[in-house]
Amino acid sequence: MTTPFQPERRKPGMFARVHVQYDQHENALLVPKRAIVEEDDALSVYVVVDSLAVRRSVATGYTSGDRVEVTDGLSDGDRVVLSGQTALRDSARVEIVP
């Protein structure tokens, strides 16, 4: 519930906690920051396709905590590599570990 600002109720020494939501993206596609590979000013992620790690260029949007919004380059349901991607090469065979 939002309470309207009432300056007459504020006194010296009082404090408040405020959460400012400056934008909201519905149905945003988020990935952990650690999934993003940055090389030569280009951002990409590795996606698992038929047991192969396929490198995909991505465009990112907002960052919130340890998550990054991906605005282009991924689809909902893509399996993104979360560890070991710095040692991967495009089309390398990978094993999914639960």
pLDDT at 98: 77
pLDDT (average), residues 76-98:
89
Give per-residue pLDDT as tens, 49-66: 999 999 999 999 998 889
Whole-number Å distance between alpha carbons of 89 and 6: 59
Running DSSP on this structure, what letter comes out for residue 82?
A: -
Q: What CATH architecture is 25-93? A: Beta Barrel (2.40)
pLDDT bracket for residue 77 (50, 70, 90)? very high
Assess contact for 70 and 84: CB atoms under 8 A: no
Whole-number Å distance between alpha carbons of 36 and 70: 10
Predicted structure pTM score: 0.74
